[in-house]
Amino acid sequence: MRHTYSLNEGWIFKKREVNLEKTTPKSVSEERINLPHTWNNEVNNSREEFSYQRTITLSENHKDDNLYLEFLGANSVCKVYLNDLFVGEHRGGYSAFRFDITELYDWDKENIVTVFVDNSQTKDVSPLNGDFTIYGGLYRSVNLICVGKDHFSLDYWGTDGIIIRSEVKEDKSGVVNLEVHTVCASDAAVNIKILDEGDHIIYSETIPSDQKNVAIELEGPNLWEGQESPYLYTLEATLQKNGTAVDQIKKTFGFRKCSLTPDRGFFLNDNHLRINGVAKHQDFEEVGNAVRNEHIEKDFELIREIGANAIRLSHYQHSQSVYDVCDKEGYVVWAEIPMMSLPDREGVLENAADQLTELILQNCHHPSICFWGIQNEIAMDGESLAMYQAVNTLNDRVRALLPTALTASANMYEVKNNSPLNFITDMVGYNLYFGWYYDSMQDLNAWIENFHTENPQVSLGISEYGADSNLAFHSDTPKVKDYSEEFQAVYHEQTYPIIKAKSYMWGSFVWNLFDFGSSVRNEGGTKGKNCKGLVTFDRNTKKDAFYYYKANWSAEPFIHICEKRFANRDKDTVDIKVYSNLKQVSLMINETDLGTVAGETVFSFENVRLQPGENKVRAYSGSYEDVASFNKVDAPDQSYIFVDPNPEINVKNWFTQERGEVDLFPSDAYSVLDTLGTLMENEEAWNVVKESAPDIAERSVPGAPVTLLWVANKMKNYFSEEAVKEINNKLIKITKS
């Protein structure tokens, strides 16, 4: 039988130290570490190759076994050596993979494993870019598996050799389509058992070990019903040789049917289910993506509290333990590959297809995964025929591997209603930020209505929406880009009801449940983080907007007084806002009763007068209450006001500063106000872009609809105002034909 040994302890991590004078080569430092591990944190966003090394020694009892090194996650390109002999390479940072070291293991000495992990930018390994930190390292567990010569295959796309595809037929019977991969002699057999939640055997059959496929039909199985009843079965596959068990695999699965209609949304087992979802990345403050079970449990503690019924596990394959919790607790999951950019470049599509194959085959037994995402915002730099063909190829890959699956895409605002990207996958999500990046919050309503009118056959939902907030900033007149906690709350109060009112949509996923690492960001008073989370990066503080969704989704009674961190008030009167899922809320201030307000989710008490000094507020309904203190001060607290040290590049200021000197944007010449697609059409103009911004030029595709100025404002760390002016001055010398 197989034995699995953890190799998480006792690694030597080697990294090159930066030589600031650059007069000598980088020195190498060593550090003893345990896994999981990443070298990236808030002050170190290195994207390069580092190494891990340790020794392994096995008992002679395993001398006749096959030996495998198992990696559950190494970002992004991983090369493995044993005793300085090359073992193999894996290109992709989020899936499990293994290498057979049986022939390379030296039984006469300690064996040295050396692992080179590289999170540098590549030409082919997705994500090629993204608004999240590309952490490096051996950030999930590493194991040594010892298994007999006859065993379930460990070489097939990182799976354990047993692939379960379950389905529910029209007559409500369940079918388990089992794919079995073995490495063994022809006289071996595989015993298959299915156990219910009470560990009772409800099915048993023995098949020849060379029978790759078997279909098992069960009458009237208990269905996986999401949070209502997340019923799971266990499949136990035992490889037998001469009647003796030599290897065994156990895994849980469930029976459920998923479907969509463009006029009513999502159905689970023919029952309508509105997706009230949150999105999350896997990282956690101070540990990056090297999370442990306690971090995962903390995440789910908060997901339970907010009352969500679905999770978008963005933007890559998450750990098996996360999907396992989703199975057990009944969350509907959107799983996806890190396809953020899809240039027509050799190797990109092939690598994406490989990552998609790993995602599906390693995870298709999870009943929680109802949506399989194949791309996210790939039209950032424009669309092309090659892009459409590539997305179709990925969609076809899902169909071939999992015929009953629902495929999903997440498009961005710039993707027009009639784009082919809206008609490839079964469901379409749009990442929309009306009122944050563009237009007003109320414009979202017209956009959704127009899209549905023009594309009534498309199953539409909102896959992202949100606004950044920094808990240090506050305002009693919140406005866009003040980064205040109050604006984020208002944003969600105005945006979510628009989404909720559209009965034809499958639902939405809030972006994001947690603040997360983003090495490309420096805004809103924070660096290296995207702060659209409803909870802080360390999971210690729930922002006010968290309680807004809890009031909408959770059945757990509660009351929350908003704006507690906005404690110092200089106005004589304030409006006090309360979130609750109760039917009415009463308010007291300094022991004075201010009455009761009836309503749903948001309760407002207007023009509440403050006394000098501390004012104690109590909101209550029956046995439920919350308290807060507001301090009447003489002048506004300046620490609450965000002053942007790196404001967006504003071409209006250029006119003010340089009027009369030169026409900054002549109509007959190119400029930064032209789209990337327009600039690409002129060789001389495009050479300016390639020389000044090679990374942008490399990612762009013909017809890119965004302006160069828009990209510069999106990537403020990459472009200074002076750099953009310099590019513009070069472009305006090139006359349009």
Count of CB atoms situated within 10 Å of the CB of 582: 19
- On whether the CB atoms of residues 602 and 551 are closer than 8 A, the answer is yes
Give the chain's length.
737
Comparing C-alpha atoms, which of 673, 131, 133, 94 is closest to residue 377? 131
Do the beta carbons of residue 317 and residue 337 sit within 8 Å?
yes
Amino acid at 53: Q
* DSSP-based three-state secondary structure for 537: coil
Catalytic residue check, 377: yes
Residue keyed to tokens 């749903």:
600
Closest alpha carbon to 561 in 581, 542, 547: 547
Helix 385-401 and helix 348-363, axial crossing angle in degrees, nearest 10: 20
Please tell me whether residue 556 adopts helix, strand or coil conformation: coil
Q: Where are the beta strands (DSSP E) in 269-391?
A: 271-272, 275-280, 310-313, 332-336, 369-376
Alpha carbon separation from 235 to 188, 212, 669 (Å, rounded): 19, 16, 67
Catalytic residue among 225, 377, 464, 563: 377
Buried b (16+ CB within 10 A) or exposed e, 401-439: bbeebbbbbbbbbbbeeebebbebbbbbbbbbbbbbeee
Which residues lie below 8 Å from residue 416, measured CB to CB, with a gap of 6+?
none
Query: Taking the CB of residue 1, how many other CB atoms lie within 10 A of it?
Result: 13
Residue 228 DSSP code: G
Alpha-carbon gap, residue 346 to 609, rounded angstroms: 67
Active site residues: 377
